[in-house]
Structure 1
Amino acid sequence: MKRLLTALLAGGSLAAAACAHAEQFSVLVFSKTAAWHHDSIPAGVAAVQNLGKLHDFKVFWTEDANRVFNDKELAKYQAVMFLLTTGDVLDDKQQAAFERYIQAGGGYVGVHSAADTEHGWPWYTRLVGRMFQMHPAVQTAVLKVEDRNFPGMERFAARSLATEEWYEFGPPRTEQLRYLLTVDEGTYKPEASWGDRHSKGMGGFHPVSWYQNYDQGRSFYTALGHLPATYGDPVFLHHLYGGIYWAATGRSFKAE
């Protein structure tokens, strides 16, 4: 009897410990590429895994769309991150499952070339908010804060130096976008030429990060994250976690 009681108490303690250490939410990291493949993907995956350890959320990473883009698997996650994806990465059934996931209140996090993904899928382009068009060479420029009252924004200076592949975007695909970061085109050379395509930049307002409520779910996007070393920058990582946190939970934040 004493042994049974001891076993039951031990079992109860283990169960309580397991409950006490349950992660606060789960995130799917998806990094499949069908066009350009960024060398920074391994650094990005490792960084998100470390954020999971730091902030106690579960991370599952895959490049296998067949494995996770269905109703049963997607239901396990509070947010899905498209990390440096490019090109057409989902088939029609997988796209439909992801649409249902967002419509059920799921969260989306897009990083850098997630805006250069699935250009022919109108629903996805609206989810991202704005789509990539072209970019100049990697340069240092002044990053500007447009809104500090969002998770992960409180550690940015009002103006700060950042080195990035500054994406130029097309027009907004929805009217709900709320902008977090912009880049000052007067502090770098925004001109780009790709064969017959030429650009002088986006002008006075060049967005870099934004968020929106979309189709019953949440969408956060940041164009930062091109260089592998960026995933060692604590300010960027906190910004990325803020987007993950909001996409997964919907909880707001006020810095001022």
Structure 2
Amino acid sequence: MTVLQTIAVLLLLLGAPAAPDPHLPQPTYDEVAPELPEGRHDAVLIVSKTNGWRHIEHIPHSNAVLADIAAELGRQSYATENGAIFNDEQLGHFSVVVLNSASGDFLTREQEGAFSRFLARGGGIVALHAAGDDSHTGPWYVHSIIGTTFIGHPGGDDHIEPARIVPDRPDDPLLAGLTFPWTLADEWYSFDANPADNGMQVVASIDEDSYRPGEALAMGAHPVIWTNPRTPGRVVYSALGHTPEAYDDSNYRRFLANAIRWAAGATA
């Protein structure tokens, strides 16, 4: 290759657009609802729609694990990334919606209205990991599902650390069958305030002495799983679940089964 050819190649490379980051897809809003398989009744809807950060590492595996758990509970499930399924008719086929790191404001105003009516008539919501990050800004969603504001997580060498999870409510049905002390390696979210200050009920917390949150992210009392007792339906949020391996952890898998069962209205 001549010097001129080399320069030409370099100029082409410098001028070429950067490849899109799969973690940051272009936000989209869906208008045409998917066609549901027949026979879905009191089923589990698994939604991993992404208009914010996309957890490409865990979503395929965690969706499969959640479907397996639903089947073990004797419930049909349906997984989608089509936000147009949030309409009154189709949501009527489900008793639980699992928001599996669904990020960003992924619903239109009309779709969020259908979701709020689903909760108001007693539907259950299990929100996981990025379903509680700061890419969600809608007042109804933040008030009903998160109850606080995500401020960050450790980065660099401390991005994924083992930490100890401790029960705040040891007899809560969400923790039935779990073994404590429980140590899990994960990405540990911090929030600007304890969600209990906004009426949420904390079920489990992180022992900050067991990992390195850093001064800016230390919360003292550091909730990681909580519920919203203020709604007619049942809402539980878990900040856990960044890594695919978390969904193979026996305690977390048991928690997810408990959460789906509880959100559907069962207590045992």
Task: Pick the TM interval, shorter chain.
Answer: 0.7 to 0.9
Deviations 1:170-227 (CA, angstroms, capped at 9, x unpaired): 32287432211111111111017xxxxxx14112x10000112333211011111110
What TM-score do you get using the length of structure 2 for normalisation? Answer: 0.78
How far is the alpha carbon of 1:154 from its aligned partner? 2.6
Query: Identity of aligned pairs, percent?
Result: 32
1:244 aligns with 2:260: yes
C-alpha spacing 1:71/1:152, structure 2 compared with 1 (3 Å): same
Q: Following the alignment from structure 1 to structure 2, what is the Cα–Cα distance between the partners of residues 83 and 164? A: 16
Q: In the aligned structure 1, how far is the partner of 2:206 from the partner of 2:124?
A: 26
Structure 1 gaps of 5+ residues are 1-21, 193-198
Residues 102-157 of structure 1, C-alpha deviations (whole Å, 9 max, x = no match): 11111111001110265321111112223322000110111111112223413333
Is residue 48 from structure 1 mapped to residue 80 from structure 2 by the alignment? no
Matched, 1:31 2:25: no
- Other structure's SS at 1:85 match: coil
For residues 89 and 108 of structure 2, what CA distance do their matches in structure 1 show? 17
1:235 matched to 2:251? The reply is: yes
Partner of 2:4: none
Pair 1:156 & 2:212 matched: no
1:169, 1:42 → 2: CA distance? 27
Cα shift at 1:232: 1.2
1:78 counterpart SS class:
strand
In the alignment, the residues of structure 2 paired with residue 48 and residue 158 of structure 1 have an alpha-carbon distance, to the nearest angstrom, of 23
Which has a greater percent of strand? 1
1:235 Cα offset (Å): 1.3
3-state SS in 2 of match to 1:33 = coil
Q: Which residue of 1 aligns with 2:88?
A: 71
The within-5 A match list for 1:80-95 is: 80-95=97-112
Q: Indicate if the aligned counterparts of 1:23 and 1:56 stay in contact, CA closer than 8 A.
A: no
Q: Report 1:1-256 matches (<5 A).
A: 25-38=42-55, 39-66=57-84, 68-116=85-133, 119-128=136-145, 129-136=147-154, 137-171=159-193, 172=195, 175-191=198-214, 199-203=216-220, 205-249=221-265, 251-253=266-268
Show the counterpart of 1:196: none
1: CA distance between counterparts of 2:217 and 2:79?
A: 37
| Number of equivalenced pairs | 223
Contact 2:40 2:94 (8 Å CA) reproduced? no
Q: 1:144 to 1:173 in 2, by over 3 A?
A: closer
Task: Using structure 1 for the length normalisation, give the TM-score.
Answer: 0.81
SS in 1 for 2:175: coil
